[in-house]
Structure 1
Amino acid sequence: MADFECRRCKRPVRVNRSHYDVFEQMHYVCFHYEFEHDAFSDGDPDEDCGVPGCPSAPAIRQEERLATTVRALLDDWSDGPPANWDNHSIPDYLAALLSRLENANGHYASRGTPIQWNSWEVIQELLRAATVGE
């Protein structure tokens, strides 16, 4: 197995090895702080920059975003089954959600993005994704 070393911190890259080149041969966190974080947070690494997956984001913000997503999904049903959903019953929706959960790696790979490190964001994305057929 070839060594994957982060070009920023020089430590081994293990978790996101499949996205080593996407993250310019860095850990996701190193990539984020190198290219994304400063553009949104005036350079303070401890400040939540607002970019989804920001390692500095407090967990409460992620919980609130997930709650907002669930409220929006519930609002979609305020006048009956939503026309823009493929799954119009709870069993169909839950079956689609289960499929998305079991195939999360494929879901992200088909979009060309790595799996989010933050489980709150993964749940939020998969809840939305289960509204449509695969």
Structure 2
Amino acid sequence: MATTSNVIDPVETTLKEKEDPRITGRRGRSKSKDVAASMEARLERMERAVADIGMQLEDEIPSSATLEAAVEDLRGEALEALNSTADTLRQEFQRQLDQVFADLASFLHLSKKLQNSSSTEELRSS
């Protein structure tokens, strides 16, 4: 004797198919009988997804004008830092150069003194 739970009512199945144009495929996935409508729906979902991703990218990635302004700011800051360092080095170099000239002047003065004192001693000894 067959149980009623295994019996499929063909009328009920036909009514369900008329109400919903989807049928179940071999692997239990539903398939649409209207392929064009299914493709239209997929296309709409894809367009919405692409638009959403585009908006997210616009929010997250700065525009080229923003990037160019940031590059100009960085360039200005780098030039300021380089100029400041160059000025500091120039001042230090000038200070050391002045010290060398002062030492040379002192050495020249001392050598003239020694030369004069040796000339004076030579005159006394002759």
TM-score range for the pair, normalised by the shorter chain length: under 0.3
The structure with the largest helix share of the pair is 2
Structure number with the bigger relative contact order (C-alpha 8 A, sep ≥ 6) is 1
Q: Please, what TM-score do these two structures have when normalized by structure 2? A: 0.22
State TM-score, norm by structure 1: 0.21
Larger Rg: 2
Higher strand share: 2
